[in-house]
Structure 1
């Protein structure tokens, strides 16, 4: 058995190890949070570069013409998700600063590591790559309006396009351009094979960096954290069911359906974190609320990688 096969067979255990190591580093060395936070974008960028190398440019170009998938992804994320969030936040009492953190994360669909996690579950990565620009543009336009509807016009003004555009450039455009340039190199095939072998370690490293950088921010805020964990967990459960229903209604095939489920469930917490950090002192708890969603989602994605292939499978395929 090759090294790549061993890594893939034990990938969930490796990812849990990355989560655990990150938590241990964050708790034991809180001062490491700053350097680790600065390493988030490079780690995510490397992971997405390796991910994009697995998706040839010709397939990505074809995915842009898949109107049914793109339309369904947009409908799930910007029509269904706000209704789900409205329902979840209506049944719990959250103070304004905590509610804002919940809304910032749950109303913004992920454009980065969703591609990697979906690919691990057999989802169609090329379609998610094609959907990323549309999802980014749509959330920049929709988030101020959605915040206005949820909490009033004064808080809609906290949303600026700058952090979104920076993340899009560093986490999508740059890795994608490098991947496509690599394809054209004589050694492109060899680089792609190496990147494929590095996928599992890169994911584990990303989990370590994200968790290690954010765990210290949770210190002393456990009451607020306890209030939002059930909301975030419930969102993952509800969106799994919503995603499966959307797959059936849209008639998407298995790979596209799995990608749709992941897109509906994963959120853009790492991109909106700079927005939360820039808020006034009255909203000092908001970044911790955003960070908590990251931690809950990372654990949830490890579950999704195992569960989604069972929920979205070919008719007659045995479910183990």
Structure 2
């Protein structure tokens, strides 16, 4: 776990605070919407460039792990997340949508850090990453339409536009760059360079979001606090579920730890990009997706420490 990975929660939180503190500066407020669009697109391009999509076949070498992870991530978790949101956030549709989008998207980066900390099966966790990424690309809009198409918040035209801007175009650009750099010595250097820029790109986009929506956030602080309840319940219930399932399926400790972190960690930047573009004039949707990880990161650290305790008697 290098220094940047250790500082990631602090840097994200610092971007939030800085965006709020500087919201009265007119110049920054005027360029913040552009910062959000440009740097989220750049960050997703860097993500697609970094993920070895050709290695999806590797995830099927351990069918038991892969099928279990996919069932929990893409069948159980969306339904459970919708249930929790409907139970605790039904009075605020924007927070409800933001929470469900957070739950719908498995993490594509820092779950590997916590897997390593908890001495899980890092190669196995890495092998599932491309498959998780592809499936959330496909299923996120499907679940949004399934759960919220009857509401007035989801505009299909905006959803299509966000998918093109933040997913299709960066994905195609990454494929073109990979093709151009194929078999060239500089490929790994460029890929690792863009990979190291993912966090700065995300922090700039988050700064722009909170600088733009500072007034909305401040006026809705009491409502945002309600997010803690379903987010914490999600972690508790899924942590117990992962343990029970792993025991029943006779996973060794390393695979159990990997399953736990793969199915607990959320916060895909894909969801944030789609929320900003698809739910215009519904600022709390995007804000919920940024506030969620501020809860999640300390929880994942605690989970990794608990897993190490479980490891002693597993």
CA contact (8 A) 2:23 2:29 kept: yes
The alpha-carbon distance between structure 1 residues 38 and 189, as it changes in their structure 2 partners (threshold 3 A), is closer
Q: Distance in 2 between matches of 1:264 and 1:31?
A: 27
Call closer, same or farther: CA 1:125–1:305 in 2, change over 3 Å.
Answer: farther
Distance in 1 separating the partners of 2:32 and 2:301: 30
Deviations 1:190-241 (A, max 9, x none): 4455456x26xx3144123223333322315644x22431232223211211
> Is 1:34 matched with 2:33?
yes
2:101 paired with 1:108: yes
Residue 73 (1) aligns with residue 73 (2): yes
Alignment partners' CA distance in 2, 1:294 and 1:27: 23
Secondary structure at 2:184 match in 1: coil
- Aligned partners of 2:69 and 2:262 also within 8 Å: no
TM-superposed CA distance for 1:258, in Å, is: 0.2
Residue correspondence of structure 1 range 64-213 to structure 2 within 5 A: 66-89=66-89, 94=91, 99-109=92-102, 114-122=107-115, 124-147=125-148, 153=150, 155=152, 158-159=155-156, 161-163=159-161, 165-166=163-164, 167-170=166-169, 174-175=173-174, 178=177, 184-194=183-193, 198=196, 202-213=198-209
The whole-number CA distance in structure 1 between the counterparts of 2:49 and 2:112 is 12
Matched positions, count? 289
Deviation at 1:177, TM superposition (A): 6.8
SS at match of 1:115: coil
| TM score, norm. by length of structure 1 | 0.73
Change (3 A) 1:46 1:288: same
- 1:235 paired with 2:230, answer yes
- The separation in 2 between residues aligned to 1:9 and 1:139, in whole angstroms, is 29
Q: 1:85 deviation in Å? A: 1.0
Name whichever of 71-80 and 38-47 sits farther off: 38-47
1:268 aligns to what SS in structure 2? helix
* Counterpart-to-counterpart distance in 1, 2:103 and 2:129: 10
- Superposition TM-score, scaled by structure 2 size: 0.74
Unaligned runs of 5+ in 2: 116-121, 247-254
Q: State which of 232, 254, 276 in structure 1 corresponds to 2:257.
A: 254
Query: 1:245 and 1:272 mapped to 2: Cα distance?
Result: 30
TM-superposed deviation, 1:63: 1.7
Alignment match, 1:219: 215
Q: CA deviation at 1:46?
A: 4.7
Question: Are residues 22 and 156 of structure 1, via their aligned partners in 2, closer, same or farther at CA, if it must alter by over 3 Å?
Answer: closer
- More moved, 99-108 vs 173-182: 173-182
Give deviations 1:77-104, integer Å, cap 9, x for gaps. Answer: 32211111111125xxx3xxxx331232
- Alpha-carbon distance in 2 for matches of 1:177, 1:86: 42
C-alpha distance in 1 between matches for 2:171 and 2:218: 34
Higher relative contact order (CA 8 A, sep 6+): 2
Superposition deviation, residue 174 in structure 1: 4.6
Give the CA deviation at 1:244.
Answer: 0.7
Q: Distance in 2 between matches of 1:112 and 1:176?
A: 22
Deviation at 1:260, TM superposition (A): 0.7
Aligned partner (choices 268, 271, 276) of residue 271 of structure 2: 268
d(CA) in 1 for partners of 2:9 and 2:217? 29
RMSD between aligned residues: 3.6
The aligned residue for residue 280 of structure 1 is none
Q: Distance in 2 between matches of 1:169 and 1:236?
A: 30
CA deviation after TM superposition for structure 1 residue 293, in Å:
0.7
